[in-house]
Copies of this chain bind each other. A is one copy, B any other.
Amino acid sequence: MVADSEFDLIREFFSFSSSSGEGVVLGGGDDCALLEVSAGMELAVSMDTLLEGVHFPDSTDASDIGYKALAVGLSDLASMGAKPVWATLALTLPGIDRAWLRGFSEGFFSLAREQGVALVGGDTTRGPLTVITVQVHGLVPQGRALRRAGARCGDLIYVTGSLGDAALALYLMQQGTSVAGWLQRRLNRPAARVEQGAALRGLASACIDISDGVLADLGHILEASGAGARLELERIPLSEHYLACENALRERYQLALAGGDDYELCFTIPAEKKAQLERLFTRQGWPCSCIGVIESQPGLRCFLDDGSRYHPHSKGYDHFAQG
């Protein structure tokens, strides 16, 4: 046996705990993890891959990468209204860099602890670059998961938080501007809207998380629901940081509409539930904004406050799009 063996590595940084964690019968240390799904619950699963140089700049702090690798999955669970319980992690690394591993696991586990997620398994391999695949597992009461399909003509369209911050941070970094503080966190430590998703069960008619820009992701709701939408562009929530950097942007709404990595929720509610929703979100201190309405005519139409039509440049981020 060599010192830096695969097994030692896994043990040292990703100690799978078999004792802690809801429903964890057996964590690491065997060929499979064994898990128990409580009666009356459905299991929600989602898998995401992050690649060095594609999904995060090479300069990104290891702890931010660890945090985000889990956060993007939790955001998927949030959009279905599921409570996160378990994660698995496949990590491909060019070699063993203990400082990087320490940072990565610190970021990953800080979010895991905060959200009550147990890491129950995974794989570690050596490859020419860092590739991280995380599968998240959540529980949702039977038949109550939020879905993309379900938006009806007349439903109001909402988003949580503010849009375009992460895309702005990335844009500024690519321009050579240093980005720190709140704006940097919006890119590197997205807050999955897990509580909001759970609260929307029975209230929202459709829900999705915004990972590829609100136009693309609302587009998925419309496609799944067989509907169209009218967007009121000037109601798109923009942070004060976004507004402060506006001069740097060629076009005010582009990043807020079609930038990636927001990890806010976009959801629809029947119009008669507007007051109930806004009371709930206000009471909890959760920002949300009504940005449009579902229409029967297919397609997505954007308007400015003066009633003029606005035509976005591109619809969203696509990993396989050619340049």
Contacts and interface: CB of A to CB of B under 8 A. Distances in A.
Nearest to A52: B127
Interface stretch (A22-30, A57-65, A230-238): A22-30
B121 A54 contact: no
A205 to B, nearest CB: 14
A49 B10 CA distance: 14
Contact of A46 (B32, B128, B318): B32
In the assembly, how many copies of this chain are there? 2
Nearest to A55: B125
B5 A321 contact: yes
Nearest to A224: B29
A31 interface: yes
Given A319-B125, A319-B126, A90 B90 contact: yes
Interface stretch (A72-80, A155-163, A164-172, A279-287): A72-80
A6 interface: yes
A178 interface: no
A142 to B, nearest CB: 8
A4 interface: yes
B121 A127 contact: no
B26 A147 contact: yes
A271 interface: no
A302 interface: no
8 contacts: A6-B318, A6-B320, A30-B149, A34-B80, A35-B42, A36-B42, A49-B92, A128-B128
Interface of A: 1-2, 4-7, 9, 25-26, 29-37, 39, 42-49, 51, 54-55, 76-77, 79-80, 82, 88-90, 92, 96, 120-129, 131, 133, 135, 137-138, 140, 142, 145, 147-149, 208-209, 224, 315, 318-322
